[in-house]
């Protein structure tokens, strides 16, 4: 069935494209992704009023108490899902090695594509062809050469800032032609054309002396996104705005609102994210009254003018290229893979991440977007093992008690500590950094 889905989609893509055919191939793509991978990794999260004990499986097995549960869906099968993504990474790694052995180079790779030196494209295709499970023709290659308007993309340039932030383009006679670009961290903005945004980013690389001219076009444009109200807590933000309005005029569940990108903080240090009801005149929005996520209305007696709380796209433009890659070394020019060495104590178990993807795109990821599982007993053992006599005295722990604890840990015997002691050790570790190896 999976094979037939993929082959049917590619057969449709080979036809002269219409709006209906494009929609159909996208539907088949979603079905294929969901049935071949998505359903095997599906976890449904829910919050609980009382803490529940759950068992965590990894290098070690341990129990913890949590307010957020992860329930496996009907077809959940972690072995299949993990091996699917691992297999994809293995193929990309093999392609990279093949290039290195044949004096080629890999410019960039994504989860399903790799940008290689033009002279080595056929080498990659020929090597992986025996692994291709589909009926072979030019459109069903495992590594199909990308085309644009029936023209193969060869002898092109690429500007890449970090993972998922790249554009492929042609540059001739000071003319930039965008061939392929990433929408990552741009696609949710309503006030810009991502392709034009990338054109300006590339233009700036060739003409840094024109920076002021290029960025000035974004000075009067603001970072505005849209968000659907799907949470009760979010809807409560509009209680004040809804007061005195008829039901038809109120902001209601599943309404779409317009959202700014935070550029200032309130007195408590929380980012101020402005919300307004949806209108079509985007240039008027920064000058309108708004509410933040807490429901506070702006302007107010202690606030600035409303426009001061809306982030300009000129600032987004400046920051976009400064987003550094954390997985690579030598970040300018030809980069190299970052090799890391870590011990078992550095491993953290993370549950399902970003349950509300749309909301996280607007507000950014927060600690509530994922579940952290930590073996508290092992953590306390590491803190004690790193605790010196001098530090122990500062905590009110005698030399004899410290030695007793360390001996129990060496012998693998259970260590039962009072809650107050555990809190003191944890607090000391976090804020006085006595246990740097475990952070």
Length of the chain: 439
The dihedral over CA atoms of 110, 115, 121, 123, expressed in degrees to the nearest 10, equals -60
For residue range 241-291, what is the model confidence (pLDDT) as tens digits?
Answer: 888 889 988 999 999 999 999 999 998 888 999 999 888 889 999 999 999
**Per-residue confidence at 218, pLDDT binned at 50, 70, 90?**
very high
141 falls within a domain? no
Cα-Cα-Cα-Cα torsion 354, 357, 361, 365, nearest 10 degrees, comes to -10
Q: What is the mean pLDDT of the chain?
A: 85
Joined tokens for residue 36: 């071949």
Identify the helix (H) or strand (E) that includes residue 212.
helix 211-216
> pTM score, two decimals?
0.76
pLDDT at 354 over 60: no
Q: Is it the case that residue 89 has pLDDT exceeding 70?
A: yes
Q: Is the peptide bond before 26 cis (omega within 30 degrees of 0)?
A: no
The dihedral sign for the CA sequence 53, 54, 56, 60: positive
Domain identity same for 98 and 193: no
Q: What is the pLDDT of residues 139-194, one digit of tens each?
A: 678 887 776 666 666 678 989 888 889 999 999 888 999 988 999 889 899 999 99
Residues 255 and 209 in one domain: no
State the Cα–Cα distance between residues 420 and 223, nearest whole angstrom: 47
Identify whether 72 is part of a domain. Answer: yes
Same domain, yes or no: 210 and 257 = no
Encoding tokens for residue 169?
A: 């383009």
End position of a domain, from candidates 84, 99, 131: 131
Answer whether 6's CB lies under 8 Å from 134's CB: yes
**CB neighbours of 356 closer than 8 A, spacing ≥ 6?**
230, 231, 369
Same-domain pairing of 122 and 30: yes
Residue 358 has pLDDT above 60, yes or no: no
Same domain assignment for residues 214 and 242: no
Q: For the chain, how far is it from start to end, CA to CA, in angstroms?
A: 47
CB-CB neighbours of 375 under 10 Å = 20
More confident residue, 220 or 425: 220
- Going by C-alpha positions, the residue among 165, 161, 145 that lies closest to residue 153 is 145
Residue 370, domain member (yes or no): no
Quickly list DSSP for 3-48: HHHHHHHHHHHHSPP-HHHHHHHHHHHHHHHHHHTGGGS-EEEEEE
Residue pair 66/56 in contact by the 8 Å Cβ criterion = no
Confidence at residue 210, expressed as pLDDT on a 0 to 100 scale: 95
Q: Does 397 share its domain with 287?
A: no
Please state the domain count of the chain.
4
Q: Please tell me the distance from the alpha carbon of residue 106 to that of residue 117, in angstroms, as a whole number.
A: 6
3-class secondary structure, 64: strand
* Domain range for 16: 1-131
Residue 6 lies in a domain: yes
Phi, psi (deg, nearest 5) at residue 321: -75, -10
| One domain, residues 179 and 261 | no
pLDDT in tens, 24-61: 989 998 998 888 888 898 888 888 899 899 998 888 88
Q: Which residue from 105, 139, 110, 135 is spatially nearest to 121, judged by alpha carbons?
A: 105
Give the H/E segment covering residue 202: helix 194-206
122 — alpha (psi -120 to 50), left (phi > 0) or beta? alpha
Residue 138 domain-assigned (yes or no): no
Q: 3-state class of 412 per DSSP?
A: coil
Residue 434 has pLDDT above 50, yes or no: no
Pair 118, 176 in one domain: no
Same domain, 9 and 97: yes
Is 140 inside a domain boundary? Answer: no
Query: Are residues 190 and 113 part of one domain?
Result: no
Are the beta carbons of 124 and 116 closer than 8 angstroms? yes
5 & 20 share domain: yes
pLDDT surpassing 70 at residue 79:
yes
- Domain's final residue, options 259, 282, 311: 311
Can you say whether the dihedral through the CA atoms of 380, 384, 387, 392 is positive or negative? positive
Statement: residue 320 has pLDDT above 90:
yes
Task: Give yes or no for a contact between 238 and 295, defined as CB atoms under 8 angstroms apart.
Answer: yes
Domain contains 213 = yes
pLDDT at 431 over 60: no
pLDDT beyond 70 at 361? no
Q: Is residue 341 part of a domain?
A: no
Same domain membership, residue 215 and residue 107 = no
Contact predicate 350/370, CB 8 Å: yes
Q: Is the distance from CB of 299 to CB of 306 less than 8 angstroms?
A: yes
């Amino acid at each position: 069935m999976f094979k037939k889905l993929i082959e049917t989609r590619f057969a449709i893509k080979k036809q002269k494209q219409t709006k209906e055919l494009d929609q159909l191939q996208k539907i088949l793509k979603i079905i294929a992704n969901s049935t071949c991978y998505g359903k095997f990794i599906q976890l449904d999260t829910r919050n609980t009023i009382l803490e529940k004990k759950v068992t965590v499986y990894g290098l070690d097995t341990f129990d913890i108490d949590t307010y957020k549960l992860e329930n496996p869906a009907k077809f959940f099968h972690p072995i299949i899902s993990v091996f699917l993504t691992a297999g994809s990474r293995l193929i990309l790694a093999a392609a990279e090695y093949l290039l290195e052995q044949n004096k080629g180079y890999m410019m960039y790779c994504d989860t399903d594509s790799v940008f290689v030196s033009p002279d080595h494209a056929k080498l990659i295709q020929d090597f992986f062809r025996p692994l291709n499970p589909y009926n072979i023709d030019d459109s069903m290659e495992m590594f199909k050469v990308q085309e644009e308007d029936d023209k193969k993309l060869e002898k092109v340039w690429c500007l890449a800032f970090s993972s998922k932030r790249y554009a492929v383009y042609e540059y001739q006679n000071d003319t930039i032609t965008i061939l392929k670009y990433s929408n990552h961290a741009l696609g949710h903005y309503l006030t810009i054309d991502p392709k034009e945004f990338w054109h300006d980013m590339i233009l700036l690389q060739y003409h840094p002396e024109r920076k002021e001219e290029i960025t000035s076009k974004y000075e009067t444009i603001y970072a505005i996104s849209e968000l659907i109200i799907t949470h009760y807590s979010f809807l409560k933000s509009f209680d004040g705005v809804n007061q005195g309005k008829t039901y038809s005029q109120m902001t209601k569940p599943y309404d779409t609102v317009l959202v700014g990108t935070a550029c200032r903080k309130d007195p408590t240090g929380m980012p101020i994210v402005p919300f307004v009801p949806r209108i079509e005149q985007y240039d008027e929005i920064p000058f309108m009254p708004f509410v933040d996520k807490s429901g506070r209305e702006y302007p107010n007696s202690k606030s600035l003018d409303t426009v001061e709380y809306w982030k300009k796209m000129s600032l987004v433009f400046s920051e976009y290229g400064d987003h550094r890659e954390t997985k690579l070394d030598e970040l300018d020019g030809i980069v190299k893979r970052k090799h890391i060495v870590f011990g078992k104590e550095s491993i953290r178990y993370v549950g399902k991440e970003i349950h509300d993807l749309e909301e996280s795109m607007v507000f950014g990821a927060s600690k509530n977007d994922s579940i952290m599982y930590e073996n508290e007993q092992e953590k306390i053992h590491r803190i004690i093992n790193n605790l010196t006599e001098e530090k122990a005295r500062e905590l009110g722990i005698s030399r004899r008690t410290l030695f007793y604890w360390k001996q129990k840990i060496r012998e693998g015997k259970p260590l039962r500590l009072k809650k107050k002691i555990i809190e003191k050790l944890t607090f000391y570790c976090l804020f006085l950094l006595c246990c740097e190896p475990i952070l």
